[in-house]
Amino acid sequence: MPVHAEAAVLAPLSGGPTAIDLKERVRSTASDRFMPYLLGAAAIFSGLIVTLLVFFVVQKAWPVFHAEGLRFITAGGWDTQLEDAWNGSAFFGVRALIAGSAFSTLGALLVSFVLGLGCAIFLAELAPAWLRRPFETIVQLLAGIPSVVFGLVGLMVVVTFIADHMVPGNSGDVVTEIPIGGACLLAAIVVLTFMILPFFVTVATDSLRAVPRSYVDGGLALGMTRWRTIMRIQLPTAAPGLIAGLVLAAARGIGEAIAISMVAGAIAFMPNFAHGPLYMLLEPIRSMASAIVENGGEAMDVPSIAAALFGLATLLLAFSITLSMIARWAFGLFSRRMGVVSDRNL
């Protein structure tokens, strides 16, 4: 009998490893040896794809940046310039588009912070288990709804409501530059709020739950009420995580195109503070992302328009990368401040 066969027969009697055990060890060793290389290759490939994407977009946008410089960002008149570009003009200014993205995103962030923080406190601290789980499921499902569905509902409900109940009859006398209707900055803020709210609620809830239980118990032991403990101990401790949630929500909102295009009015107009808060909210806007969607297609055959659209894409990439870096910094700060993982039952 061969030696290896004899060992395989005698191993079970002597308590040693069987032939099957030896094969499993060989397979485990091989996978342990090659898995780091496989994962490393996947990470390098992903990073290479992102790098090539950024390089391609910036390279396509370089003609407009080289020709106009900062004037591309500081000047306005996008709608008129698009019409002129078909006749040979190559000048573009995207100030109104940047303002539209900024106003809609900041407005949605403000509303999301107020609503989302209350929702996160309720889910993390106040809701019973039988009610918390369905609510968390609803929040997660809300994050998975396609953008076009939000846009369609916003167009049929939000825009109609604003046009019927909020637009004053003398709006044409106050704002003479453009028509005032239901498709406006306010509609964009409302729709964008419900799109980014789940992202902030999820991060905020996890941040509040990650506060060590000893912090909460210490506050309660000192005689603080539950609400005062939340406001004075949990929220300040979880502040970096809350900031990270806002940053991630902002990154989601600033790149939204379809829904904003459907409800915001699709006019590159700079909201005017001189008209008052109400009329400013009722004025139509166009964001950078929606401009790329609306002006693509056949317009890409014109080199100057194509360069301008890639310039907008470059600005969006710059904003997204900056926000991602801020979010990573906030998460790192949050982890250092927490130090330990909460021992509460999640």
Report which of 181, 162, 192 is spatially closest to residue 283, judged by C-alpha positions. Answer: 181
Q: In the chain, where does DSSP find H-type helix?
A: 3-14, 19-68, 71-74, 78-85, 95-121, 129-143, 147-153, 159-165, 171-174, 185-209, 213-221, 226-229, 235-237, 239-254, 258-263, 277-282, 288-295, 303-338
The token pair at 48 is 């290479």
- Tell me what the mean pLDDT of segment 79-104 comes to: 84
Look up residue 42 and give its two tokens: 């996947």
pLDDT (mean) for 200-218:
87
Question: Residues 135-144: pLDDT tens digits?
Answer: 888 888 888 8
In angstroms, the Cα distances linking 225 to 126, 171, 217, 325 are 13, 50, 11, 37
Question: Whole-number mean pLDDT of the chain?
Answer: 82
pLDDT at residue 17, as a whole number: 54
Predicted confidence at residue 305, as pLDDT, reads: 86
Taking the C-alpha atoms of residue 190 and residue 196, their distance in angstroms, rounded to an integer, is 10
In angstroms, the CA 195 to CA 108 distance is 9
Q: Which of 93-97, 179-183, 295-299 has the lowest mean pLDDT?
A: 295-299
Going by C-alpha positions, the residue among 239, 253, 234 that lies closest to residue 123 is 234
pLDDT band for position 337 (cuts 50, 70, 90): low
Other C-beta atoms within 10 Å of 106: how many?
A: 14
pTM (predicted TM-score) = 0.82
Q: What residue has token string 């290759």? A: 41
327 or 201: which leads in pLDDT: 201
**Residue 27 pLDDT class (50, 70, 90 cuts):** low
Please compute the mean of the pLDDT values over residues 85-112 and round it to a whole number: 87
pLDDT in the model for residue 116 = 92
